[in-house]
C-alpha cells in the first residue's frame, strides 16, 4: 500500500535524538559474514527496510539469518550457494557487496544486477576490473554479474575513483587470496574502516584503513566474530541540518563527531552553534541560516548523501548558495521537487544555484531516493501549510523510526496510507 507523509511547517526542532548503526556499514558487514563458516553476530543494527532485504539475500545463499531487535545473527554454511539471483537482490544497490565474498569463498559468483536509488549511473566496471586483477574472470551475462576463478592471487590495484562499493568488493575478495594485495586510491569512508575492523576481528590482515592505500595479506580462512556497527553519520547529520533549518536546538547521540568534521564546520559557517561531544554533537540555531557553498566529494569531503539536505538548508538561508555535485550526476533530480515547494533554485550540469527565501510553500512532492525524501521532509518543516511527501518507502530504507524521532523533536509529521 502506498504511504505518504503529511508535514506541517512552522515548528522548531528541540530535544535529543539517538542514531542507530550506519546503513552504509551494516549491509556490507552482513555480506562479510559469508567469508567464515559459523555464526557471526552484528549488533547496533538499524531498524531499516534494507536489513531484512539483505537477510533475504543471505538466506538465498544458504545462510540462516535471525533478526532480533538491533542484533543480526548470521550462520554461514561450509559451502554457501554462489547464485544470488532473486527479487531481493534487484531492490537495493548494496546487494552487490556479496560479489567479493562469494568469489573468495566459492570461487564463483552469479549476482543479479542490483537496483536501488535513482541518483545516476553507478557501473560495476571497477568491481569487475579489480576482481580480474586478482585472477578472476568476470563479465555480465543475462542481467547478472558472473565472476569465477580457480585461484585468487594478490595484486596491485589502483582505482580510477575512490569508489566505496568497489573498494569493499575487492577488499573482501582479497582477504582470502594468496599473497599481498594493495588497493591504491581506496575509499576512506568510516564505513570502509568499519568493514576492515570486522575483517581483522575475523582473522584477516588488513592495514591502512582510513587512508587511500589498503594493504591486505591473504589468509587461509576466517572465523566468525561479534561486531558492533558504527553510528550512522548521514542520519546524524540530517538531524543536525534539520536543527539549523528550523532554528532549533538538537543534541544528536550515537555517532563519532569526527566522522562529520566538514559537515559540522559548514553548519558553523551557516551561523549554528555546534558543540562536539564524546558520542555526538549539539546544533543550536538562533537566527535564519546564512548561505553556504557546498561541493560533494568522497570522504573526508562533504557526503553526496547529504546533498539534498544541503539544498534544503540553502533554500531557506539568507543569501545565495552554490552546490556542486561531483559524485552522482542525477542527484539534482531532487531540485525539481524543491522548486514545487517554492525554492528559488536553478541547475546547470554539476552545479545548482539556490537563492534562499524566508519561507517555503507547501505542495505535494515525490521522493526519488532515500536522501531526497528526507530532504523534502526537512523542507516541509520550513513551509507554510501541509506538505505531502509521497513514495516514503525510500525514507524507510535509510532512516529508522523517522516519524517517531521527528515527532519527539517537535516536528509535526503524520504517516498516512
Does the annotation place 24 within a ligand binding site?
A: yes
Q: Tell me the per-residue pLDDT of 121-175, one tens digit each, with 9 for 90 and over.
A: 446 889 999 999 999 999 988 888 899 999 999 999 999 999 999 999 999 999 9
- Look at residue 155 in the predicted model and tell me its pLDDT: 97
CA angle 176, 178, 184 (to 5 degrees): 80
**DSSP for residue 53:** H
Q: Tell me the per-residue pLDDT of 193-214, one tens digit each, with 9 for 90 and over.
A: 999 999 999 999 999 999 999 9
CATH-assigned architecture of domain 23-228: Alpha-beta prism (3.65)
Residue in this structure with the C-alpha cell 550512522, named with its chain if needed: 232
Contact 297, 327 (CB under 8 A): yes
Residues of the chain with pLDDT under 50: 116-122
**DSSP for residue 318:** B
Query: What is the location of CATH 3.65.10.10 in the chain?
Result: 4-20+231-416, 23-228
Does the annotation place 327 within a ligand binding site?
A: yes
In whole angstroms, give the CA distance from residue 383 to residue 261: 29
| Residue 231 β-bridge partners | 21
What are the residue numbers of the active site? Answer: 117
In whole angstroms, give the CA distance from residue 26 to residue 60: 18
- Look at residue 120 in the predicted model and tell me its pLDDT: 41
Rounded to the nearest 10 degrees, what angle do helices 164-174 and 99-106 cross at? 10
Nine-digit cell at 103?
568469489
CA angle 327, 94, 233 (to 5 degrees): 65
Residue in this structure with the C-alpha cell 587512508, named with its chain if needed: 211
- Look at residue 197 in the predicted model and tell me its pLDDT: 98
- Look at residue 93 in the predicted model and tell me its pLDDT: 63
**CATH class of residue range 4-20+231-416:** alpha beta
CA 207 to mean position of chain CA atoms: 23
Nine-digit cell at 238?
540530517
Among 369, 391, 392, residue whose Cα is nearest residue 92: 369
The alpha-helical segments, DSSP class H, found in 61-189 are 99-106, 125-133, 164-174
- Look at residue 334 in the predicted model and tell me its pLDDT: 86
- Look at residue 118 in the predicted model and tell me its pLDDT: 44
Contact 296, 327 (CB under 8 A): yes
Amino acid at each position: 500500500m502506498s504511504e505518504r507523509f503529511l508535514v506541517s511547517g512552522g515548528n522548531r526542532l528541540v530535544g535529543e535524538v539517538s542514531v542507530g548503526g550506519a546503513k552504509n556499514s551494516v549491509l556490507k558487514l552482513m555480506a562479510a559474514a559469508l567469508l567464515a563458516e559459523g555464526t557471526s553476530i552484528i549488533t547496533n543494527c538499524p531498524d531499516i527496510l534494507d536489513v531484512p532485504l539483505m537477510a533475504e539475500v543471505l538466506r538465498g545463499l544458504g545462510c540462516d539469518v535471525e533478526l532480533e531487535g538491533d542484533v543480526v545473527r548470521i550462520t554461514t554454511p561450509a559451502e554457501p550457494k554462489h547464485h544470488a539471483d532473486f527479487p531481493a537482490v534487484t531492490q537495493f544497490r548494496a546487494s552487490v557487496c556479496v560479489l567479493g565474498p562469494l568469489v573468495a569463498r566459492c570461487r564463483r559468483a552469479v549476482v543479479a544486477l542490483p537496483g536501488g536509488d535513482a541518483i545516476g549511473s553507478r557501473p560495476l566496471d571497477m568491481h569487475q576490473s579489480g576482481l580480474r586483477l586478482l585472477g578472476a574472470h568476470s563479465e555480465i551475462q543475462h542481467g547478472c554479474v558472473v565472476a569465477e576463478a580457480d585461484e585468487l592471487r594478490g595484486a596491485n590495484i589502483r582505482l580510477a575513483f575512490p569508489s566505496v562499493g568497489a573498494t569493499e568488493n575487492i577488499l573482501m575478495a582479497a582477504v582470502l587470496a594468496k599473497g599481498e594485495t594493495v588497493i591504491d586510491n581506496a575509499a576512506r569512508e568510516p564505513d570502509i574502516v568499519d568493514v576492515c575492523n570486522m575483517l581483522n576481528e575475523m582473522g584477516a590482515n588488513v592495514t591502512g584503513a582510513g587512508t587511500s592505500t589498503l594493504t591486505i595479506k591473504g589468509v587461509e580462512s576466517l572465523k566468525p566474530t561479534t561486531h558492533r556497527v558504527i553510528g550512522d553519520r548521514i542520519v546524524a547529520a540530517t538531524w543536525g541540518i534539520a536543527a539549523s533549518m528550523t532554528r532549533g536546538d538538537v543534541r544528536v547521540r550515537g555517532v563519532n563527531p569526527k566522522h562529520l568534521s566538514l559537515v559540522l564546520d559548514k553548519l558553523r559557517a551557516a551561523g549554528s552553534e555546534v558543540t562536539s561531544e564524546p558520542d555526538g554533537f549539539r546544533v543550536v540555531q538562533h537566527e535564519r541560516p546564512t548561505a553556504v557553498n557546498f561541493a560533494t566529494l568522497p570522504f573526508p569531503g562533504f557526503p553526496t548523501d547529504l546533498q539534498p539536505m544541503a539544498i534544503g538548508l540553502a533554500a531557506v538561508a539568507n543569501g545565495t548558495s552554490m552546490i556542486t555535485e561531483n559524485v552522482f550526476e542525477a542527484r539534482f533530480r531532487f531540485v525539481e521537487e524543491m522548486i514545487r515547494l517554492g525554492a528559488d533554485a536553478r541547475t546547470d550540469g554539476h552545479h545548482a544555484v539556490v537563492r534562499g527565501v524566508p519561507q517555503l510553500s507547501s505542495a505535494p512532492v515525490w521522493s526519488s531516493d532515500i536522501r531526497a525524501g528526507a530532504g523534502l521532509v526537512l523542507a516541509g518543516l520550513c513551509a507554510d501549510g501541509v506538505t505531502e511527501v509521497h513514495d516514503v518507502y525510500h525514507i524507510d530504507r535509510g532512516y529508522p523510526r523517522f516519524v517517531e524521532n521527528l515527532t519527539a523533536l517537535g516536528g509535526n509529521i503524520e504517516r498516512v496510507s
